[in-house]
Every structure is written in C-alpha cells, then in structure tokens.
C-alpha cells in the first residue's frame, strides 16, 4: 500500500467522522456509523505507522550506504595521491575514474537519504496530528452518546409525565361530566315537583298563603297565635 493511499483513506475517514459530530442531535444510527469511521481511521493510522517504520528503515539503510561510499571514496583518493606521488599518472587517472563512479553513485544515494528523511519527518507530524484528531473525535462521540442517552431519558420522562397528566385530565373531565349530569338531574326533579304541586293545587295554595290571602295555619306564628287564644279562653 502506498503512502499516499494510506493518508487518503485516513483523512477521508476523519473528515466523514467530523461532519457527523457537527450535528446538533445525533441518532443511534449515526453514532454507529461514526464508531465505524473511527475504527477505520484507527486502522488507517496503524497502517501509516507501519509504513513509517518501513520508510525509516529505508532511510537508515540509505544513510549507511552513503557512509560506505564516503569511506570508499576516501580510500580511493588516498590511493590516487599515492599513485601521483609515485608518478604513476596512468594509475592515478584510473583511480580518479573509479572515484568519479563512486561519487555519482553516492550522490544518487544521498538524494534517497534526503527524500526518505523528508518523508519520515512529514509522516511523523501527520501521524501526531491524526492521533490528536482521532482522540478529539472519539471524545466528541462520547459526549454525543451521553447526550443521546440524556435526551432519551428526557423523552421517556416526558412521555410518562404526559401519560399521567392525560389520565388526570381524563379523570377531571369525567368528574365534570358527572357533576353536570347531577345538576341536570336535580333541576329536572325540582321541575317535576313544581309540576306535581301545580297539578294538585298545592302550588296555588302555597302562593295564596305567601300572599297572606289564605291564613297559613301550619306556620309557627299561626300555631303560637292559636295557643295564645286557647290560653286566654281558659
């Protein structure tokens, strides 16, 4: 797997996860998706770390080869100087050609060292950044899960409270209807009594007594008056 593909998958997973956390209310399905994306990001991060180890090993090997080239070049330069001192210009020229080959190969190897070193430095920074982002994302998911649990509890409490309130309202409504029926029945009974009195003449007798036209012999005043007269007659 190439370094580019690893980081592409890693940051794609992180971007997808971060966009989900931005929602104000996260449902359970979104949380499951987000958990999976975090696991994918962890996997990509682990792959990136393994790739970093591989590149670091290549960087070390290339650095060692550069050191070996430096040693061979130094040895050949000593031999070229010795040939020149012995006035063996032919040998000195031949050694110089060998040195040129080693120098060219060393330069190519040194470029690899620089390139691998740059990769190592960049990947270390990217891995540190990715670890921090994954940690932050995981914390946000934990907060979202806790918030989801609290909201579910609030919804359940609201439903329970609403059910209780609904039952109370039903009971109050039933009581009101019962009282209304009782008042209606009492009014009907009173009306029936009035009709009965009117039909038997009791209602007219009552009205005459109230008007003082017919004496009310059954009243307390009438009884006391009758008793006084009896006492006076004795």
> Which tokens sit at 150?
């609290």
The percentage of residues in the chain with a pLDDT greater than 70, rounded to a whole number, is 62
Compute how many other C-beta atoms are within 10 angstroms of the C-beta atom of residue 232: 7
Question: Is a pLDDT exceeding 90 seen at residue 68?
Answer: yes
**CA dihedral sign of residues 14, 20, 23, 28:** negative
Contacts of 80 (CB under 8 A, 6+ apart): 92, 95, 96, 99
Number of neighbouring beta carbons within 10 Å of residue 178: 10
Domains, the chain, with CATH or none: 3-160 (1.10.287)
Tokens 């971060």 -> residue: 18
Q: How does 152-166 read in b/e, with b if 16+ C-beta sit within 10 Å?
A: eeeeeeeeeeeeeee
Residue that the structure tokens 């579910």 belong to: 152
Mean pLDDT of the chain: 76
Q: What is the pLDDT of residues 142-180, one digit of tens each?
A: 887 787 777 777 766 665 555 555 555 666 666 677 777
> Is the separation of the CB atoms in 126 and 48 below 8 Å?
yes
- What is the sign of the dihedral through the CA atoms of 143, 146, 148 and 154? negative
pTM of the model: 0.51
Q: Is the dihedral of CA 139, 144, 147, 148 positive or negative?
A: negative
Determine contact, residues 141/34, Cβ cutoff 8 Å. Answer: yes
Q: What is the pLDDT of residues 183-208, one digit of tens each?
A: 877 777 777 666 655 555 556 566 66
């Amino acid at each position: 797997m190439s370094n580019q593909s690893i980081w592409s998958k890693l940051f794609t997973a992180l971007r997808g996860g971060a966009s989900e956390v931005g929602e104000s209310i996260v449902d359970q399905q979104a949380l499951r998706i987000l958990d999976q994306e975090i696991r994918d990001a962890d996997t990509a991060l682990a792959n990136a770390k393994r790739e970093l180890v591989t590149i670091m090993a290549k960087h070390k090997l290339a650095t060692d080869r550069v050191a070996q080239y430096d040693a061979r070049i130094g040895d050949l330069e000593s031999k070229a100087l010795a040939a020149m001192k012995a006035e063996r210009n032919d040998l000195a020229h031949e050694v110089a050609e060998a040195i040129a080959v080693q120098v060219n190969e060393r330069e190519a190897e040194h470029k690899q060292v620089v390139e691998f070193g740059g990769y190592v430095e960049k990947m270390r920074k990217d891995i540190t950044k990715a670890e921090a982002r994954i940690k932050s994302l995981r914390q946000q998911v934990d907060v979202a899960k806790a918030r989801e649990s609290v909201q579910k509890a609030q919804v359940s409490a609201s439903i329970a409270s609403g059910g209780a309130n609904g039952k109370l309202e039903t009971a109050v409504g039933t009581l009101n209807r019962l009282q209304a029926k009782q008042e209606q029945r009492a009014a009907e009974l009173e009306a029936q009594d009035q009709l009965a009195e009117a039909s038997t003449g009791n209602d007219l007798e009552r009205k005459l007594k109230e008007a003082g036209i017919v004496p009310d012999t059954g009243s307390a005043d009438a009884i006391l008056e009758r008793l006084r007269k009896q006492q006076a007659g004795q």
